[in-house]
Amino acid sequence: MNTITKNIVLFPFNLLYKISPEMDLKVLFRIKQGYPLNLKHPVTFNEKLQWIKLHDHNPLMTKCCDKYLVRQFVKDQGCGEILNKLIWSGYDPEEIPFEILPEKYVIKVTHGSTFNILVKDGKHADRRKIIKKCKKWLKAKFLPCYGEWFYGKEKPRIIVEEYLETDDGKDLKDYKVFCFNGEPAYVRVDSDRFQNHKSDIFDIKWRRIKNVHTRYPCSNDNITKPDCIKELLTYAKKLSEPFLHARIDFYIIKNKIYFGEITFTNGAGFDRFSSYEWDKEMGDKLRLRKVRYS
pLDDT tens-digit profile, the chain (294 residues): 666 778 788 999 999 999 999 999 999 999 999 999 999 999 999 999 999 999 999 999 999 999 999 999 999 999 999 999 999 999 999 999 999 999 999 999 999 878 999 999 999 999 999 999 999 999 998 889 999 999 989 999 999 999 999 877 678 999 999 999 999 999 999 988 878 888 999 999 999 998 787 788 888 788 999 999 999 999 999 999 999 999 999 999 999 999 999 999 999 999 998 899 999 999 999 999 877 775
For residue 92, give the amino acid letter: D
Domains in the chain, start-ordered, CATH in brackets?
Answer: 12-83+166-285 (3.30.470)
Q: Would you state the torsion angle of the CA atoms of residues 249, 251, 256, 261, taken in this order, to the nearest 10 degrees? A: -40
Query: Model pTM greater than 0.85?
Result: yes
